[in-house]
Each structure stands twice: as structure tokens, then as C-alpha cells.
Amino acid sequence: MGSLDADLPVVTVDGFKPLDVDDLRKQLLLSVDFIVDYYKNVDAQPVLPQVQPGYLRHLMPAAPPPRGATLEDALRDIRLAVLPGMTNWASPNFFAYFPATLGSAALVGDFIASALNPVAFTWLSCPAATELEELVLDWLAQLLRLPPAFRSSSDSRGAGGGVIHATTSEAILCTLVAARDGAVRRAGGVPISRLVAYGSDQTHSTFAKACRIAGYDQANVRLIPTRLGSGYALVAARLRDAMAADAAAGLVPAYVCATVGTTSSTAVDPLGLIADVAAEFGAWVHVDAAYAGSACICPEFRGFLDGVERADSLSISPHKWLLTGLDCTCLWLRDRPRLAESLGTNPEYLKNEPSESGLVVDCKDLQVGVGRRFRALKLWMVLRTYGVAGLQAHIRSDVEMAQAFEGMVRADRRFEVVVPPRFALVCFRIRAWGGREAAAEADNRSLLALVNGGGRVYVTHTVLDGKYVLRFAVGSTLTEHRHVASAWELIRAKADEVLGGRPLE
């Protein structure tokens, strides 16, 4: 035995019961009070924690406790040590990245799913989990007006359907693998090193990462430049030029990742035109609509998905904007068996009659791992309790608040809106007066540091066409118009500090 084992005391506990049903109600009530208190007070707390790296080790013991503590003691530790180091994504003053929304229905659904605790890798391991997943994916597909080819319901008469993953990263990785295997077969067994994957310079960074994991040569991952003139969308003609050049060089175009709502600016790629180009080369088309896809349940935004009927797969993350809580990404496929061909496993210890009958879906064959959480329950709870009208109202409210913020920015001549907003993200900056971009970047860096420095509001940045730009993303579940107005007043005040009495040209 090592020295660590020798240092740990030997403690015996009589009558240890890790799940005491009689005590469970009391523990849950204490936990509910803790959560409710957090949400009641989160508005008054800093969004960004005022701690230094390593702070937690000074507040927690260096070794595990020999004897357990009461739940009250554990909750006190969380309150004193964990909460001070939390970046409060639930804060109504959180305007960074994209939101991670959470409604009470999802919270309750996730709680019940955790209590039931199924490991639903095959249909037989938990029929309810598999069938609810298929049902709720078909529900959401209907809201999005996806073509029947993407649905698993019996009336679609096809091989389509979906699966719920943790995040978009997994959805892109899995479809890259399926596209890889299909391209290798189609091209007569060419080596993977000859396959090429395409996106734009606005495609999420997880695309390039997933390409590495899936075995694509990094020299064959094309990130095609975009410009303001196209709204930072991928131009189909440039995609065709790149794919034609690669094919002429003996490479095999295999995968195109189109985006509806890019992270930097919510750009929307022209899905139909991109699908037309990809079809010329037999490439798989995946549509990443992680953020903005949720907005497409509203008729006024559905046009951004036009052309999706030509894609091979589509992913949307309801945990971003559909009140479902991390983690929950919905992946739909036109030909779901292609994913299972690449990711399926069939060990003896999991063989069973329903799986072998071909009448059921085993979700383990549609993902990276084998075990999986019962994510469908919280998404079903959201749809069941809020309904279409409630979810549409939620999306529209966030968009209206973003439009209000855009109006505030445009009313101050010191600022400019860099790209026309499409959803609930506003990209803006202090103007480059006299064309002095270097000075503008310095001003905007200083402004961001001052705005975030007090911890009261959190905003992030990006770079578009070489310009340093601030991103203001509306969508935190608790955000109201007053929080948006207050954030703008803070930004204006900090801009006064940055610009001082400098004359505007």
C-alpha cells in the first residue's frame, strides 16, 4: 500500500444508508430552498466572480472527510466556498457568449430524470427513455417544420430520425465520422488522408476540433473566408471553387458544415445553395443551428432554415435558447442507419430480442459513448408545460430586448452596430474615428475591461474582418428590459471614461 493509503484513517460506519427514503424528503426540501434562494438573489450578485486562481483549495479540506457531514453542512460549504467562485450564467445581467437558458420545467424534469437514473443505452434497458426521445424529437421537428424525412414517426415511412446528444460538438463529430466512412466507400477505399471537410472562418471552432478527432488531415480542413458583404455567410460560389480545386487535385470532398447563427455574429449560411454545391461532389451537409435554430419555431424566423430539406443532418441545442438547461443537443438525420453503421456496437452481453428484431432503436449506436442520460424527459417537460405559444413568446421577448439595445447603440453617435442583428445578439463597438482601427481596437478593449471589471455585467468580444467587436447577447432566462437598459447605461458611462473629452470627428 502507498503512503496515501497509510495516511487515511480506517473508519467504520454502522447502518450506512446512502439513499434513506425516509430522510429523502427533508433533504430535497432543503435543496429546493437553497436553489430558490439562489435564484431570488442572483440579480444582486456579481456576474463574474471576484476570486483568484486556486481560491477554492484555501476554503476546502485537502483530504476527503473520514466521516460524512449533514446535508446542512454540505450546503453551507457550497454557499461559502462554491457560490463565490461561480460565474452566474443565471444572472439577468449575463450578456456573454450565448445564453444557457433554464426554465423551472427543465429543472424539474432533469431532477426527476436523475432520480429515475436509467442508463438507457438500448431500447430494452429503458423503453420509456428511448421512445420519449423519439417522440420529443418528432415534436420539435414539427415545430421547426422539418421535412418528414427527418422524423422517426411511423407515417414518415423512411430511415430518418434523431438522437439527443450532450452538445453540438458530439453531433458534429458523429456526423463527420459517418460522412468519412461513406466517402471512403464511395471513393473505392481511398485513405482518410485524402478526405476534405469544409466550413467558413465563422464556423464554430468545435468543427476543426471534431475533424482532428475523426481523423481528417488538418491540412484538408478548409475554413473559407467570409466578408461583411455577405453578412459573414459562407458564399456558395467560393465553396464550389474550393471543392472543385480539391477534386481536381485528387482529393475527396466529404463534408460541409453550414451554420444558421454563427457564434461571432449570428451569420446564416445559404443552406439550399450550399446543398446544391455539395451534391455535385457527393459530400455530406450538416447544418449547425445550435443557437439560432430554436428561434425557428417562430414563423418569422423559419425562413433561415430554408434549404434544410437538402441537408443530411441538422443539430440544434435547446439548452442555449429553449429553456432546457445544459446539456441537450438534438440531432436529426435523413438516414439515421448511416450513423449506426459507423458508431454501432453489438457485444454479446447487450444482445436482446427487441434489438435483433429491427423494430427498435438502440441510441448507443448513434453517439460516441454507450451509457447515456435521460435528457429527453426535461425537453419533453419544457414542451409539455410551456407549449408552443409560451416558447415562441420567450424567443420573441429576447429578440425585442435585443432590438431595444440596438436602438440605444444607434442613438449614440460614438458607437456603431457592426452587422445587422438577426436574432438576439448585437455586435457593436466604439467607432474607428478617422479610420484609425488600431485606436478603435484599444478603445474597445479598454471599454470591455471596464464594463466587466466590476462584475456587475458580463459582455464578451469577437473579431470580424479584423475589427475588435463587442457582443451583447440577450437571452438569460431572468433578463428583463430594465437589465438591458441598466447594462447600456453602464456601457455609456465606461465609454465616457475611455474617450474622456476626446473630440469626435
8-state DSSP, 81: I
Element (H, E) at 503: none
Question: Annotated catalytic residue: which of 55, 97, 349, 386?
Answer: 349
Number of Cα atoms under 13 Å in the Cβ half of residue 265: 28
- For the chain, the maximum distance between any two Cα atoms, rounded to a whole number of angstroms, is 79
Spatial distance between the Cα atoms of 85 and 403, rounded to a whole number of angstroms: 32
Q: Dihedral sign, CA of 368, 371, 373, 377?
A: positive
Residues 6+ apart with CB under 8 A from 190: 183, 184, 252
Spatial distance between the Cα atoms of 309 and 275, rounded to a whole number of angstroms: 9
8-state DSSP, 465: T
Are residues 170 and 228 in contact, defined by beta-carbon separation less than 8 angstroms? no
468 among known catalytic residues = no
Are residues 430 and 498 in contact, defined by beta-carbon separation less than 8 angstroms? yes
Spatial distance between the Cα atoms of 244 and 223, rounded to a whole number of angstroms: 15
Cell numbers that stand for 194 in this block = 485524402
CA dihedral 135, 138, 139, 144 (to 10 degrees): 160
CA 155, distance to chain mean position in Å, is 30
- In the block, residue with C-alpha cell 457527393: 282
**201: nearest Cα among 303, 269, 255, 273:** 269
| Beta strands 425-430 and 221-224, pairing class | unpaired
Spatial distance between the Cα atoms of 492 and 447, rounded to a whole number of angstroms: 9
Cis before residue 14, ω within 30 degrees of 0?
no
Spatial distance between the Cα atoms of 401 and 243, rounded to a whole number of angstroms: 41
**E-state strands within 326-455:** 329-333, 415-419, 425-430
Are residues 382 and 140 in contact, defined by beta-carbon separation less than 8 angstroms? no
Element (H, E) at 254: strand 252-259
Q: Is 100 helix (H, G, I), strand (E, B) or coil?
A: coil
Residues 6+ apart with CB under 8 A from 44: none
Catalytic center residues: 349
